[in-house]
Chain A
Amino acid sequence: MSTPVIDARGVHVHLGASHVLRGIDLRVDSGEVVALLGANGSGKSTLVRTVVGVLSPSQGQISLLGSPLGNGVPWHRVGYVPQRVSAAAGVPSTAAEVVASGLLHGRRLALPRGWRRQVREALDQVGLADRADDATGQLSGGQQQRVLIARALVRRPEVLVLDEPVAGVDRPSQEAFAATMTRLIGDGLTVLVVVHELGELAGLVTRAVVLRHGRVVHDGAPPRPHPDHDAAGHQHVHPHTSELPVHSETEFGLTDGPFGVGATEVHP
């Protein structure tokens, strides 16, 4: 692999008075699927927001697809799914309108020809084709999350940066999402994804990076899933609501207390 798709070197980020990222080196090569793991507050979202240019590092450099962050980056080849957005803005907007905004990038300020078809295809990929004309504010939380995934996919990116894309998304939709991702990755998509549990993505992830207190503490093989859960092909045939909350986080050793202050150990 010649130039890395994402190349962050010695990145420090300050937010307000706090020193959130403390010297991050992260390199993602073409075709890799990298999972970014870590406890709540470890700086995962801060890192991905810095990588896509939303936050600016106080120190260090980041280049995306070979260009340093800025106008030189070919933004149409980058897709981003933020962790959460306040769905209800002042004026209602339909799912199709939100997804269509993903077709604008860089200096492209007008919708391209055939945008309706592209929007429909993107919504179809997340299983929401029939809700295209519904107000986003009236969709469920998981459906809104899928609209944001469609917004990132609609421009057919080569690199996709996702911040907890399947949090609050039901199992069938996660499976559908994993299937879409499998197909896109097969076509050469590079992925950086923040997750708390690998879940349906376990079979796709080629490398895991674990953050703790704003530093990389592990960069290598993905954590081994528990034999019983979340393995690829694991069939969910039994109701297990009682064991649903945060079961795999402890298996990955990412939580060490009730408030998830930091990770204790990382499986190689």
Chain B
Amino acid sequence: MSELSHMFGDPLMQRALVAALLVGVSAPVVGTYLVQRRLALLGDGIGHVALTGVALGWLVGAGLGLVPNDVLAIPGAVVAAVVGSVLIEVVRRRGRTSGDLALAIMFYGGIAGGVLIIGIAGGSSGNLMAYLFGSISTVTSTDLVLTVVLCALILLVGIGLRPALFSVSHDEEFAVSSGLPVWALNMAVAVLAALTVTVAMRVVGLLLVSALMIVPVAIGQLVTHSFRRTMAVGSVIGVVVCVVGLSATYWYPVSPGALIVVLAIAVYAVVAGLHPLLARRQPARDPHPDIPDDVEVDVAATTTGTEGECER
């Protein structure tokens, strides 16, 4: 118990916990829309591009002689991620290249660009490790402010515009025929995804960002049929695994990002395993609607089975 209060008393840990909590709520909210649009891998693509942004920020920072060199790394990641996801959306709309080809090109270009540029900036690929795998234990107060602002924006748009974002993600053609600003709503989802990647980068690292957006949603889908509840369950799971995973690293020296993702996948495995049992528990209900048939059948003849068969 005293150990717990010790943990909560540590200012470094306090900041890390707040960041983890916010990211845990926000990532699945955006992830729900990505899964809905079958763009589950978009977060990974954006994550890779954000790496180039980190390196670019570093290059600019070094060029300007800023101390430390990486103060512009996160702003660089935000810009690169937004540009990358908007580009993907544009490509998707044009329909020239298939979405997954465009994503693949983003994956390769993002990593290669990041490693190249960090070298030019006078750093080594080792400097990118903190961004690839997360560095929640080094969250500064400035980082925290940025995280709070971005997460507030993500939640405001992601939850506030849920019916409209659901409509375009569910049936874009119907949304167009309703006169909804479909282009703007699609762009909103793309920008939300980019912002989520950059805030989650601190907690789990760019390589695992997408897991935090997707796995909780996959769990939500197992336990509910509704879009709204899938999102809600995803957010709860996201918070729980982020906070539990991070707290555990206070005692065990393991990577928080990796532990958080492994926890999420473990929850998924357990829920998926229990799912058939839970489903069987539900009260059986006749799925057939009680309405008259299209055809008139002599019920007496057919229900008695074998002997009444096919007499007509």
Contacts and interface: CB of A to CB of B under 8 A. Distances in A.
Interface of A: 49, 52-54, 71, 73, 75, 78, 80, 82, 85, 89-94, 97-98, 100-107, 109-111, 127, 133-135, 138, 143, 151, 161, 170-173, 236-241
13 contacts: A53-B177, A54-B173, A78-B177, A78-B178, A89-B36, A91-B32, A92-B226, A92-B227, A97-B226, A97-B228, A104-B163, A104-B167, A105-B178
Interface stretch (B18-26, B126-134, B245-253, B291-299): B291-299
Nearest to B163: A111
Contacts of B164: 104, 109-110
Contacts of B169: 89
Interface string B133-172: 0000000000000000000000000001101101101110
B163 A100 contact: yes
A154 to B, nearest CB: 11
Interface in B175-189: 175-181
Given A90-B35, A90-B36, A93-B170, A104 B178 contact: yes
Nearest to A109: B164
A131 to B, nearest CB: 8
Contact of B174 (A82, A94, A240): A82
A53 B179 contact: yes
A239 B32 contact: no
Contacts of A92: 221, 224-227, 230
A53 B180 CA distance: 11
A133 B228 CA distance: 12
Which of A102, A104, A106 has most chain B Cβ within 10 Å?
A104
Contact of B179 (A75, A143, A239): A75
B37 interface: yes
Interface string B231-247: 00000000000000000
A52 B177 contact: yes
A109 B35 CA distance: 21
Given A90-B40, A94-B226, A106-B180, 8 more contacts: A90-B37, A92-B226, A92-B227, A97-B166, A109-B163, A135-B226, A172-B291, A236-B295
B178 A102 contact: yes
A78 B180 CA distance: 12
Contacts of B167: 101, 104
B200 interface: no
B217 interface: yes
Interface string B189-227: 000000000000000000000000000010001001111
Nearest to B167: A101
B38 interface: yes
Nearest to B224: A92
Contacts of A71: 179
A203 B296 CA distance: 24
- What size tier do the contact residues of chain B reach? 35 or more
Contacts of A110: 160-161, 163-164
Q: 5 closest pairs, A vs B, by CB?
A: A75-B179, A135-B225, A52-B177, A239-B295, A101-B167
Contacts of B224: 92
Contact of B296 (A54, A173, A237): A237
Nearest to A103: B163
Nearest to B178: A105
A266 B108 CA distance: 59
Which of B175, B177, B289 has most chain A Cβ within 10 Å?
B177
B213 to A, nearest CB: 13
A245 B170 CA distance: 32
B36 A171 contact: no
Contacts of A135: 225-226
Contacts of B177: 49, 52-54, 75, 78, 80, 82, 161
A105 B179 contact: yes
B180 A172 contact: no
B311 to A, nearest CB: 12
Which of A49, A71, A94, A133 has most chain B Cβ within 10 Å?
A94
A240 B225 contact: no
A105 B167 CA distance: 10
Contacts of B225: 92-94, 133-135, 138
B187 to A, nearest CB: 14
Contacts of B170: 89, 93, 98, 101
B174 A151 contact: yes
Contacts of A238: 296
